[in-house]
């Protein structure tokens, strides 16, 4: 199968490589389908570097070269320099503040000539490395709260910096590292509480406050009724239940309204409402004006309701086998905004239909499952943690992005890995994946 020097290619997981190539190819074709204009000379425009798809091809070539370098590097290099890279990443994020260029309403981009560089994208790699490094330290006892807090800080600090650059979407990705920590022993209760809180917040928005309060109270009373024997034996249970009830109602009655009225910007509130399918009525005239201005200025996710609608139309109209490459009217004639970047999945859904979508999702699914399998076969904790980091980052990106295009998640501007147009994004994911491939190739080496 391979003609390379067996010393280098030994132990490389070729399945991952092929999946990577397949995804990148799908990406270039999709960008081509979304931005090709009738009458362009195809070969010429692929080489001209003037079109998005030709540039994406260039990025892919650069990424391939970079991947080769990574594969040629000694895996110990990554372990050794992980913290250094993290420091470098934080530095980059900080450099953004004085040197950023405002593009499409985000402040997270540094511009070198015509090349836009987004440190927030790249930083995921460094966080993965740093988190793996920290968790794999022999002196780290992850059962201790202190360790858990430090690990959390490693993930959350770049997230906060990214939020400060108005890239909320990318910042959310850093929370995927909590799944890694969960694998390494973070108590499940934290994830469950986090998830429950999210559900409660959504329920608060969807259901009338009083009705929700009644439902919560009823649930608490029922629990007390069913646990009455245990409660007789142990009084603490009753206190726990009442406390949980109080927290829930508190969140629902006070915390959420407070957040929405005081903390979030009106346009953000509107976007959240759009996602769950409710009309948001601005409370004051000023809020309405701000929403209007924001939706004008902010291109990413502007009129998110319209975007989601058009995106659903595009995907839905693909039916079973799709309309064929270059035949999708929704994507060809710009009905779906941001269709080369965040809404690239529409092009696939419309052009290749259910079959194409399922094939793409299958590729992603196989990729993720393979990475988890790889993670579990590592003998080194560092490699395992890193592998989980990769899996979780990819998973988060895929899930949020696809759910957003099919109307299951709010419009959060994050790219679809390996497919969305964008140099930084493709290069970051390539580096992320190929470091894993390198680490995995050396899994037989001494336990670190």
* Nearest to other proteins of 165, 330 (CB atom): 330
CA distance 301 to 306: 9
**Least separation, in Å, of the C-beta of 350 and other proteins?**
8
CA distance 109 to 117: 6
199 binds other proteins (CB under 8 A): no
Query: What number of other Cβ atoms are within 10 A of residue 142's Cβ?
Result: 17
- Residue 308 · residue 287 · CB < 8 Å: no
**Least separation, in Å, of the C-beta of 360 and other proteins?**
10
Q: How far is CA 215 from the centre of its chain?
A: 33
Question: Which of 163, 248, 174 has its CA nearest to residue 213?
Answer: 248
Q: What is the DSSP letter of 140?
A: -
Judged by CB under 8 A, the residue of 145, 235, 333, 444 near other proteins is 333
Helices 266-276 + 304-316 axis angle, to 10: 30
* Nearest to other proteins of 263, 358 (CB atom): 358
442 binds other proteins (CB under 8 A): no
* Nearest to other proteins of 109, 392 (CB atom): 392
CA distance 15 to 436: 13
395 binds other proteins (CB under 8 A): yes
Judged by CB under 8 A, the residue of 29, 123, 344, 381 near other proteins is 381
**Least separation, in Å, of the C-beta of 255 and other proteins?**
26
* Nearest to other proteins of 197, 399 (CB atom): 399
CA distance 427 to 191: 31
**Least separation, in Å, of the C-beta of 36 and other proteins?**
13
* Nearest to other proteins of 252, 330 (CB atom): 330
CA distance 167 to 108: 7
Considering only 71-79, 240-248, 270-278, 406-414, which stretch makes contact with other proteins by CB under 8 A?
406-414
CA distance 10 to 296: 53
* Nearest to other proteins of 184, 440 (CB atom): 184
- Residue 405 · residue 424 · CB < 8 Å: no
The DSSP-derived string for 376-399 is HT-SSHHHHHHHHHHHHHHHHHHH
**Least separation, in Å, of the C-beta of 246 and other proteins?**
30
Burial string for 168-195 (b: 16+ CB within 10 Å, else e) reads bbbbbbbebbbbbbebbebeeeeeeeee
**Least separation, in Å, of the C-beta of 330 and other proteins?**
5
**Least separation, in Å, of the C-beta of 334 and other proteins?**
4
88 binds other proteins (CB under 8 A): no
187 binds other proteins (CB under 8 A): no
Judged by CB under 8 A, the residue of 353, 410, 417, 423 near other proteins is 353
Considering only 82-90, 97-105, 359-367, 419-427, which stretch makes contact with other proteins by CB under 8 A?
359-367
Considering only 120-128, 230-238, 264-272, 351-359, which stretch makes contact with other proteins by CB under 8 A?
351-359
Q: How many residues bind other proteins (CB under 8 A)?
A: 51
Three-class HEC string of 15-72: HHHHHHHHHHHHHHHHHHHHHCCCCCCHHHHHHCCCCHHHHHHHHHHHHHHHHHHHHH
Q: Between residue 10 and residue 39, which ones bind other proteins under the rule CB under 8 A?
A: 38
The 3-state DSSP class for residue 187 equals: coil
* Nearest to other proteins of 103, 406 (CB atom): 406
**Interface residues toward other proteins, by CB under 8 A:** 38, 142, 179, 182-185, 310, 312-320, 329-330, 332-335, 349-350, 353-354, 357-358, 361, 364-365, 368-369, 372, 375-376, 378-379, 381, 384, 388, 391-392, 395, 399, 402-403, 406-408
């Amino acid at each position: 199968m391979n003609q390379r020097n067996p010393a280098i290619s030994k132990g490389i997981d070729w399945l991952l490589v092929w999946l990577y190539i397949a995804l990148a190819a799908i990406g270039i074709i999709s960008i081509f389908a979304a931005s090709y204009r009738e009458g362009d000379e195809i070969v010429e425009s692929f080489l001209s570097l003037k079109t998005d798809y030709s540039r994406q091809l260039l990025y892919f070539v650069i990424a391939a070269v970079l991947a080769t370098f990574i594969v040629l590097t000694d895996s110990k290099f990554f372990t050794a320099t992980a913290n250094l890279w993290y420091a470098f990443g934080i530095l980059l994020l900080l450099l953004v503040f004085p040197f950023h260029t405002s593009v499409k309403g985000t402040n997270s981009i540094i511009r070198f000539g015509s090349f836009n560089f987004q440190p927030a994208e790249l930083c995921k790699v460094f966080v993965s490395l740093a988190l793996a490094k920290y968790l794999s330290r022999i002196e780290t006892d992850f059962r201790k709260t202190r360790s858990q807090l430090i690990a959390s800080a490693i993930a959350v600090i770049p997230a906060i910096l990214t939020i400060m650059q108005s890239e909320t979407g990318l910042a959310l990705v850093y929370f995927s590292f909590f799944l890694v920590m969960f694998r390494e022993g973070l108590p499940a209760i934290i994830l469950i509480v986090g998830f429950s809180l999210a559900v409660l917040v959504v329920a608060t928005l969807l259901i009338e406050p009083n009705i929700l309060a009644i439902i919560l109270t009823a649930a608490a009373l029922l629990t007390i009724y069913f646990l009455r024997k245990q409660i007789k034996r142990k009084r603490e249970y009753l206190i726990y239940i009442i406390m949980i009830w109080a927290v829930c109602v508190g969140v629902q009655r006070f915390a959420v309204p407070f957040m929405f009225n005081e903390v979030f910007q009106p346009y953000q509130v509107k976007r959240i409402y759009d996602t769950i399918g409710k009309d948001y009525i601005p409370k004051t005239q000023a809020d309405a004006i701000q929403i209007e201005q924001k939706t004008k200025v902010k291109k990413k996710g502007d009129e998110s309701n319209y975007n989601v609608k058009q995106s659903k139309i595009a995907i839905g109209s693909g039916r079973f086998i799709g309309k064929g490459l270059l035949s999708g009217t929704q994507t060809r004639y710009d009905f779906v905004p941001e269709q080369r970047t965040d809404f690239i999945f529409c092009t696939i859904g419309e052009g290749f239909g259910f079959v194409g979508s399922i094939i793409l999702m299958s590729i992603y699914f196989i990729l993720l499952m393979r990475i988890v399998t790889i993670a579990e076969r590592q003998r080194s904790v560092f490699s395992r943690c890193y592998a989980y980091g990769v899996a979780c980052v990819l998973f988060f990106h895929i899930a949020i992005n696809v759910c957003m295009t099919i109307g299951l998640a709010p419009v959060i501007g994050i790219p679809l890995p390996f497919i969305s147009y964008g140099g930084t994004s493709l290069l970051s994911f390539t580096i992320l994946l190929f470091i894993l491939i390198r680490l995995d190739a050396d899994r037989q080496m001494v336990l670190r």
